Amino acid sequence: MNRVYNFNAGPAALPEEVLQKAANSLVNYNGLGLSVMEMSHRSHDFETILEDAQNRLRDLAQIPENYRILFLQGGGCQQFAAVPMNLMSTGKAAYVISGTWSKKAAQEAKMYGEVYTLASGEDQNFSCLPSCEGLAVPEDASYIYLCQNETIHGIEYRTLPVFDSAAPLVVDASSCFLSEPMEVAKCGLMYAGAQKNVGPAGVVIVIIREDLIREDVWPGTPTVMRYSIQAKNNSLYNTPPCWSIYMCGLVFEWIQQNGGLKGMQARNEAKAQMLYDFLDKSSLFKPKAKPGSRSIMNVTFSCGSPELDAEFVALTQERGFVGIKGHRSVGGMRASTYNAVPLEAVEALVSLMQEFENNR
């Protein structure tokens, strides 16, 4: 079977080896005569799957022992609400607005308290990261919120900023999760939707420091959205997304077998560099993100007119590429070069871009 060049932003490419392994056990997992999708989440077999995924993730990301790993539902957007519900103890929080997703998170948080905007890149159309250096964080802020990688705009904090504040840092790491060595210890809480780098849609991973798992949450917080309840029940308070968790575990294993996070970083930097090198030299294609802010996961670019952009997107579809069209809110093009996207796919894309440019 011929597989397309998959540059989707999410749900995104999964390693072919993982898909093959999952396919082989889809109907009959480990000789049990049933699928992971059919087994009880209370069974010993699923508890083993869950524990394996947690242990592999802790090892990969070097997660300290005083952090809990939760596999939850609702995606990243539900965490926009869950974070303030669980952590906004003073009724106030500080947000860095670096793009669409952090802006949406801040808007959601305003339903539960006051939101301070520490910095914003909106005046630059989110083409570069707002500087966090020397920011004065209000003393009554319960936490500081940051989206590490803005998928739509293609910008990324490659290193998490350090704030002169006792408030814990909350990081949405969805689009760069496990793409390179992580800085979990800098955070009070880190979360990521799995459908970018680590698995199929359906599960969001929350890594939270134990001192932030509290009972004194916003009074209207649904039981299922309380970190304390999910932590006490080891993510099994309600029926979890069993198949998605199993798939995440397989991807964690694949990453371990392919050089760990340093191996992923080397692969991902090579892919991104190839694209940015072409874009910076091209007379037709132009990168949207400014140097110093560019994501190695989501490369955004344009031909300069909606008509040319649409023509190129149509050509990619004809040639077996998917996911090149940019987000509907900003237009243009985007190539999401997540862990499972092979270098050969990027080489093919650059070759097609050069062909398109030569024919103008």
360 has pLDDT over 90: no
Q: What is the DSSP letter of 76?
A: H
Taking only the tens place, the pLDDT of each residue in 135-184 is 999 999 999 999 999 999 999 999 999 999 999 999 999 999 999 999 99
Please, which pLDDT band fits residue 2 given cuts at 50, 70 and 90?
confident
1 has pLDDT over 80: no
Taking only the tens place, the pLDDT of each residue in 265-303 is 999 999 999 999 999 999 999 999 999 999 999 999 999
- Active-site annotation, residues: 101, 172, 196
pLDDT of the residue at 75 = 93
Percent of the chain whose pLDDT exceeds 70: 100
Taking only the tens place, the pLDDT of each residue in 32-47 is 999 999 999 999 999 9
Query: What is the residue whose two structure tokens read 């910008």?
Result: 155
**3-state SS, one letter per residue, for 91-109:** CEEEEEECCHHHHHHHHHH
Q: Give counts: helices (H), strands (E), the chain.
A: 9, 14
**Does the pTM of the predicted model rise above 0.75?**
yes
**Nearest alpha carbon to residue 353 among 305, 290, 284:** 284
95 has pLDDT over 80: yes
Strand order in the sheet with 189-193: 67-72, 204-209, 189-193, 169-172, 144-147, 92-97, 114-120
How far is 34 from 291, CA to CA, in rounded Å?
A: 51
Give the chain's domains with CATH numbers. 17-257 (3.40.640.10), 260-358 (3.90.1150.10)
Taking only the tens place, the pLDDT of each residue in 225-235 is 999 999 999 99
Taking only the tens place, the pLDDT of each residue in 211-257 is 999 999 999 999 999 999 999 999 999 999 999 999 999 999 999 99
Q: Strand, coil or helix: what is 116?
A: strand
